Amino acid sequence: MSAESNYYVPEPSRLPVSMALALGLMALGAGMWVRGEGFVVLAVGFLIMATVMYVWFGTVIKENMAGMTNAQVKRSFVWGMSWFIFSEVMFFAVFFGALFYIRTLSLPWLGGEGDKSDMINLVWPGFQAEWPLMTNPGQVVGVEKFVGPHENMGFPGWGKLFEWLPLWNTIILLSSSVTVHFAHHALKHNNRSKFNAWLAFTVVLGIIFLVVQYVEYHEAYAEMGLTLSSGIYGTTFFMLTGFHGFHVTLGTFMLFVQLMRGFKGQFSADDQFGFEATSWYWHFVDVVWLGLFIFVYVLG
């Protein structure tokens, strides 16, 4: 219904339940994968999520193309996407908060600060509370269940600056934020060829970012000894960068969907919320990475 006084209510759908199932399987599979099993569960969850997103996006697109969405519905889309991004901000705030707590409070306590210093020194004599934590407390007393990494992912020095993969990923992701802005500007001026070109470039940059991050992870595991089992430094590093990588994967998929819609000519200068919502999400992903680059890599 296109009248301003009416509000389109979609038919009952199993898509929300299917998405919840997919996310549950992904969470279960990820937890099992940490223990060396569960990859199939994780992959099945991811495939279900991708399928649900494809069908759900297609349904909303068809409804919009059929004129079923009026101004009130479009405002609800804006609010829905805004609250979704806000929930993502809170999600990452928890992990940044955990990193802050560990580095600023927990680690100094383990190093002997505070009124329990005598007991701490008795339990772990000679433990040095330095971040990144390369030697875990148990290692100083001969308990090597969690062995610290050989190297960390921090700033390698000016001589190796251009070999530092996080720097290149920062350049790639910030550049993609510029290219998606150019795509938005082109769409606002009904220049479809430039819109498609800039958006395709953005998708390619997102894929390159993920490839570089894979190379970085392989280097961390194979050469640096930095794993999920190497102590709190490895845990926080992979939790923060891993979840961000998942969001980049999701954002790249969303951008690819908008690119396919662009090739079909479905957007116009005054009707483009699908792309705008995706660009908001992509800018959010870029800002999170900037925080990761500063607090996990440069200062870490």
For 112-116, 207-211, 254-258, which range has the lowest pLDDT when averaged over its residues? 112-116
> Does the domain spanning 1-68 belong to CATH 1.10.287.70?
yes
Q: Where are the domains of the chain?
A: 1-68, 70-298
**Digit-coded pLDDT (tens) for 180-214:** 999 999 999 999 999 999 999 999 999 999 999 99
**Partners of 271 in the β-ladder:** 268
Q: Output the CA torsion 28→94→148→171 (10° steps).
A: 100
Mean pLDDT of the chain: 88
Please report the beta strands in the chain, taking only residues with DSSP state E, as ranges in sequence order: none
Q: Would you call the peptide bond into 166 cis, given omega within 30 degrees of 0 as the criterion?
A: no
Q: Decide: 281 and 254 in contact? Cβ < 8 Å.
A: yes
Query: Quick check: 2 pLDDT over 50?
Result: no
Q: Decide: 177 and 282 in contact? Cβ < 8 Å.
A: yes
**Res 205: pLDDT:** 97
**Res 1: pLDDT:** 42
Q: What is the mean pLDDT of residues 219-227?
A: 90
Q: Which of 17-42 are b and which e, b meaning 16 or more Cβ less than 10 Å from the residue's Cβ?
A: ebbebbeebbeebbeebeeeebeebb
For 128-142, 177-191, 242-256, which range has the lowest pLDDT when averaged over its residues? 128-142
Q: Decide: 170 and 293 in contact? Cβ < 8 Å.
A: yes
**Digit-coded pLDDT (tens) for 141-156:** 666 677 778 888 888 8
User: Residue 256 corresponds to which tokens in the numbers above?
Assistant: 């690819």
CA 161 to chain centre: 24
Give the global pTM.
Answer: 0.88
Q: Decide: 141 and 250 in contact? Cβ < 8 Å.
A: no
CATH code, residues 70-298: 1.20.120.80
- For the chain, the distance separating the N- and C-terminal CA atoms, rounded to the nearest angstrom, is 54
